[in-house]
Amino acid sequence: MIRIYLGLISVLVILVLFTAFFNLPVAQGQTSAATVDIKDDIFSPASLTVDAGTLIRWTSVGNHPHTVTFDTKQFENQNSDTLNTNDSFSFTFNTPGTYPYHCNFHGGSGGVGMSGVIIVKAVTPPPTPIPDTQVPTAPTNLIVTSVGLFNVNLSWGASTDNVGVEKYKIFRDNVQIGEAFTNTGFPTSYSDSFVSPGRTYSYRVSAFDAAGNESAQSNTITATTQSFATATDAPVIISFFHNNSNGINAAITPGQSTTLIFKVTGTPFPIISINNGIGTVTAGSNILVSPKVTTTYTLTATNSVGTVTASLTVVVSTPSITSPNAATGTLGIPFNYQIIANNSPISFNAFPLPLPAGLSLNQKTGLISGIPMTFGDFTINLEAAAGNGTVASAALSLSLLSNPLIPIITSPAAASGTAGKPFSYQITATNNPTSFDAAFDIDFEHRNPEFEKQFGFSIDTKTGLISGTPTRNENISVFLKATNSNGASIIKVLFFIKDPPVLIITSPASAIATVGSPFSYQITATNSSTSFDADNLPPGLSVDTGTGLISGTPTTRGVFDVGIVASPTFASFKLFIFDDLLSPIIASPDRTVGTVDNIQVQVNALNVRQDAALSASKIGLVRQGEVLNKLEEKNGWVKVELSNGQIGWIFKQYTAPVAVPVVSTLRQKIIVTAWVLNVRSGPGINTKVITTVQRNDVLEKIEEENGWFRIILPNSQNGWVYGKFVK
C-alpha cells in the first residue's frame, strides 16, 4: 500500500513540473486573431479595434515594399522587416491602449501618409453564474397502487422546484432501489419487481433537480406482497401511449409509423390484447402500427379477478395546404405567394402551366413570384409533395388587377443587326418610365449578367438605349422592362443578328466553247476582288490573275469542272467544249444546253409579294446576291421563282439581269435532312467546303456521282452534297 501511495505522489510531482516547465495553459480559450491587408500605400482597415490578447497579422497584398513601424518607442524592437508581396508580420497586443503605426517608406509618425492605428480594449470577464441552491419540495401522497407476488406498484404527487425537477429516487427499507425521470411517460410512478412473496416493505421517495439538490423525503408507506396461497390481484393498466419521431402521442401523417407502448400489472398476470386486428400480444411488448386514418386502439387486460380496458387514439393528420386559398396581385407590380402545407413538403407544383404571364413557381421552395404581365381572375391548382409520398392539394383563386398607369412598351417587336457592326435599339414606352432594363436570352428571374456579356450589348437604364456590337450570327430573345412609380411592364422582343453579307462569285455556272475557236470567260464577284485564279483549265486556256479573265483557244473537247477564285471567295463552273456548235450538244438524251434568264438581288433585303403591287400581301424575303429565275415582267415588277419553288413578284428597280448558261439533267428538287450540311467543291469529303445549308432547305439536284449530288444553290453557285443527308 505504501508503494502505491509513493507511486501516485511521484506521478503528481512529474505532472506539476511538466506543466510549469512548458507553461501549459489551463482551461483557457484560443487566442483570437485579426488581419490587416497592406495594399499599395494604405493599410486596410486603417483603424482596427480588438480585445486585449488578440493576434494581429499584417499581410502585404500590393506590389510595393512596406513596413509596419510603431510610432512609440515601447515597441521599437518589435517593428517588422521590409514586407514584399505576400509577406506577413504578426504581433499580439496584451495591454489595453491605442497603438499608432506607419510605413517607413510611405508614411510617418502622427498619422502622416500611410499609417494606421490599433485600439486594444480590456476584456470584461463573463459574470459568475449564481449557483442553484434551492431544494425541490418533498413528494406528496406516496401510495401503493397494487401489490402482487413479486411486485409493488407506487405513485406519488409531483414535487416543484425553482428551476425544475429532474428525477425522483425511490427507497425501499431506507436503501435506494431505483429512479424515475421526469422526461418519461410516467414520471411519478414506480414498479418494484424485486420483492419476495409474503413480505412487508417500507417505501419513501425524494426529488432531485439538475443541480443535485435533494428534497426532503416523502411520507413512508408499507406494502405486504401476496403469498402463493392467497395471491390474486385485479389487472391494472399503468400506462398506455404511443411514441413516434414527432413525439409522445404526437399526430402522424398517413402511413407514418408509431409505437404503441403499455404497462400492465395483475395477479395472475393478465392476458393482454389490442383490437383493430392486432390480436393477443405478450405482456410488455411494444407494437408498431402505421394507420392511414385517425384510429382508436383499445387495450384489454384480463385475469381471474377481472378485466380492465384503456383507449388510445392515434391522430392521423390529413395532408393539406394551409396557405390562403385566395390572393390578389396587380399588373406590373411585384407579386409573391408562398405555398404552405402541413405534410413537411419537399417539392411543389402548380397547374395549369404556364402560370399567368410574368409569374413562375420555385418547385423547391413553393414560392410563386414575379411581375404580373396580365390581369383577370385565374384558378391555380396547387400541390405539395412530402418525402413519404403524401400529396396535399388545394385550389388558389388568383385575382390580378389591371393597372393602366404602368409604362406600356411601344418599341418594335423585332430588330436586325449585323455581327461585328455597331447596333442600337431604343426602348420606348407610355406613362413616363423612370428606368429601363433588358435581359438577354434568359428572363429577369433567371438572368446571369456574366452570361449576358457574350452577346455584346449593354443598356442605359435611364434612357432605355440598348447598344453595342453583336458578336455572332444568332437570333436573341430580349426581355425588356420599363418602370415608373406605378409599376413595371415586361415584354419579349427578338434581335435578328446576321453575319456580314456573303461574298459570292456571280459569273455564270457553266459556259460553252468550241475547239479551235477563241473563248473568254470573265470571273465576277460581289466583293470587287482584285486577285483571281483558276485551276483545271483545259489545254489552250489561261487566266489573268489581275482581271479574272479566262481566255484562249481550246484544243481539246470535253466537259471540264473549272475551279475559280475571286479572293477570298471561290467556286467552280462547268465548261463544255465541243468540236463545233452544229454537232449534237450532248449525246445523252436526258441532257440539254440552254440559257436561263435570271436576275440578281442588289439590296440587303427585298420583299416578295403575291402580286405586282405594293398593296399585295408579302409572302417572303430575298437577300442581296440571290440569283432568281425570271418568269415574267409587268409594270416595273418581275415575277420570279424562289429557291423553295414558290412564285412571287419583286420590284425590278432593285435587281440586275444575269444571263447564266446552264446544263440541265432532268433537275430534281431535294430537301436537306441534316441540321447543317457542308456543300463541297467536288464529290468527296476531301474537297473544299464552299458553304453550308440548313435543315429543310430546298435544293436543285442536277447530277449524281458515287452517292454525291451536284446541286444548284439559290445564288446559282454549284456544289456537291452527300446524298445520305437529303431526301
- Position 674: which residue type? A
Predicted local distance difference test score (pLDDT) of residue 31: 59
Is residue 621 within 8 Å of residue 609, measured between CB atoms? no
Are both 152 and 188 inside the same structural domain?
Answer: yes
Q: Which residue has the higher pLDDT, 281 or 505?
A: 505
Q: Which residue has the higher pLDDT, 563 or 658?
A: 563
Are both 149 and 196 inside the same structural domain?
Answer: yes
Are both 146 and 190 inside the same structural domain?
Answer: yes
Beta strands in 441-537 (DSSP E): 457-459, 465-468, 474-484, 487-498, 510-514, 519-522, 532-535
Predicted local distance difference test score (pLDDT) of residue 56: 93
**Helices then strands, each counted (H, E), the chain:** 2, 57
Residue 27 falls within a domain, yes or no?
Answer: no
Are both 104 and 146 inside the same structural domain?
Answer: no
Left if phi > 0, otherwise alpha if psi is -120 to 50, otherwise beta: which for 666?
left
HSE-up of 263 (CA within 13 Å, CB side)?
9
Are both 267 and 326 inside the same structural domain?
Answer: no
Is residue 413 within 8 Å of residue 493, measured between CB atoms? yes
Task: Compute, in degrees rounded to 10, the torsion defined by CA atoms 367, 371, 375, 377.
Answer: 10
Q: Read out DSSP for 177-188?
A: EEEEETTSS-TT
- For residues 74 and 56, what is the distance between their CA atoms, to the nearest angstrom? 17
Predicted local distance difference test score (pLDDT) of residue 664: 44
Highest-confidence range of 178-192, 264-278, 561-575, by mean pLDDT? 178-192
Q: How many CB atoms lie within 10 A of CB 557?
A: 17
Residue 633 in 3-state DSSP? strand
Task: Compute, in degrees rounded to 10, the torsion defined by CA atoms 196, 198, 202, 206.
Answer: 40
Are both 288 and 328 inside the same structural domain?
Answer: no
Query: Which of these three, 188, 208, 225, is where a domain ends?
Result: 225
Predicted local distance difference test score (pLDDT) of residue 72: 84
Host domain of residue 351: 320-401
pLDDT in tens, 633-645: 888 888 988 877 7
- Work out the burial of residue 194: count CB atoms within 10 Å of its CB; fewer than 13 is exposed, 13-18 middle, 19 or more buried: exposed
Q: How many CB atoms lie within 10 A of CB 555?
A: 12
Residue 716 falls within a domain, yes or no?
Answer: yes
Is residue 183 within 8 Å of residue 231, measured between CB atoms? no
Q: Which residue has the higher pLDDT, 471 or 381?
A: 381
The mean pLDDT value for 291-320 works out to 87
pLDDT in tens, 358-415: 899 999 999 999 888 888 899 999 999 887 777 889 999 999 988 888 898 889 988 9
The mean pLDDT value for 324-333 works out to 91
- For residues 276 and 297, what is the distance between their CA atoms, to the nearest angstrom? 7
Residue 617 falls within a domain, yes or no?
Answer: yes
Residue 304 falls within a domain, yes or no?
Answer: yes
Bond before 589 cis per omega within 30 degrees: no
Predicted local distance difference test score (pLDDT) of residue 366: 93
Predicted local distance difference test score (pLDDT) of residue 282: 54
Residue 505 falls within a domain, yes or no?
Answer: no
Structure-block grid coordinates of residue 661? 448558261
Query: Which of these three, 294, 314, 334, is where a domain ends?
Result: 314
Is residue 181 within 8 Å of residue 167, measured between CB atoms? yes
pLDDT above 70 (res 279): no
pLDDT above 70 (res 594): no
- For residues 110 and 104, what is the distance between their CA atoms, to the nearest angstrom? 12
* Reported confidence tier of residue 120, pLDDT bands at 50, 70, 90: very high
Q: For 105-139, what is the HEC assignment?
A: EEEECCCEEEEEEEEEECCCCCCCCCCCCCCCCCC
Are both 412 and 395 inside the same structural domain?
Answer: no
* Reported confidence tier of residue 338, pLDDT bands at 50, 70, 90: very high
HSE-up of 248 (CA within 13 Å, CB side)?
9
Q: List the CATH number of the domain containing 647.
A: 2.30.30.40
Q: Which residue has the higher pLDDT, 303 or 12?
A: 303
pLDDT above 50 (res 27): no
Q: Which residue has the higher pLDDT, 499 or 131?
A: 131
- Work out the burial of residue 698: count CB atoms within 10 Å of its CB; fewer than 13 is exposed, 13-18 middle, 19 or more buried: middle
Lowest mean pLDDT among 210-214, 255-259, 455-459, 660-664: 660-664
What Cα–Cα distance (Å) separates residue 559 from each residue in 152, 260, 266, 663? 120, 98, 117, 11
Are both 412 and 493 inside the same structural domain?
Answer: yes
Query: Which of these three, 314, 347, 370, is where a domain ends?
Result: 314
Predicted local distance difference test score (pLDDT) of residue 378: 93
Are both 211 and 170 inside the same structural domain?
Answer: yes
Structure-block grid coordinates of residue 60? 502585404
Number of domains observed in the structure of the chain: 8
pLDDT in tens, 69-104: 998 887 878 888 888 989 999 999 888 989 999 998
Residues of the chain with pLDDT > 90, as a percent, come to 30
Structure-block grid coordinates of residue 392? 396535399
Q: Which residue has the higher pLDDT, 527 or 507?
A: 507
The mean pLDDT value for 287-313 works out to 88
The mean pLDDT value for 491-508 works out to 81
Bond before 45 cis per omega within 30 degrees: yes
Are both 213 and 245 inside the same structural domain?
Answer: no
Residue 556 in 3-state DSSP? coil
The predicted model scores a pTM of 0.35
Lowest mean pLDDT among 22-26, 577-581, 708-712: 22-26
Are both 412 and 494 inside the same structural domain?
Answer: yes
Residue 253 falls within a domain, yes or no?
Answer: yes
Lowest mean pLDDT among 186-200, 589-603, 662-676: 589-603
Residue 475 falls within a domain, yes or no?
Answer: yes
Note the helical H segments in 252-381. none
* Reported confidence tier of residue 284, pLDDT bands at 50, 70, 90: low
Residues of the chain with pLDDT > 70, as a percent, come to 89
Bridge partners, 98 (sequence order): 119
Residue 131 falls within a domain, yes or no?
Answer: no
Predicted local distance difference test score (pLDDT) of residue 5: 38
pLDDT in tens, 689-711: 888 888 778 888 888 888 889 88
Task: Compute, in degrees rounded to 10, the torsion defined by CA atoms 515, 520, 523, 524.
Answer: -130
Q: List the CATH number of the domain containing 102.
A: 2.60.40.420
pLDDT in tens, 33-75: 899 999 878 899 989 999 988 999 999 988 888 899 998 887 8
* Reported confidence tier of residue 24, pLDDT bands at 50, 70, 90: very low
Are both 190 and 257 inside the same structural domain?
Answer: no
* Reported confidence tier of residue 265, pLDDT bands at 50, 70, 90: confident
Lowest mean pLDDT among 115-119, 563-567, 623-627, 693-697: 623-627
Q: List the CATH number of the domain containing 261.
A: 2.60.40.10
The mean pLDDT value for 466-475 works out to 88
* Reported confidence tier of residue 480, pLDDT bands at 50, 70, 90: very high
Average pLDDT over the chain, rounded to whole? 83
Q: Which residue has the cell 517593428?
A: 79
pLDDT in tens, 539-554: 999 999 989 899 999 9
Beta strands in 545-591 (DSSP E): 549-552, 558-566, 569-578
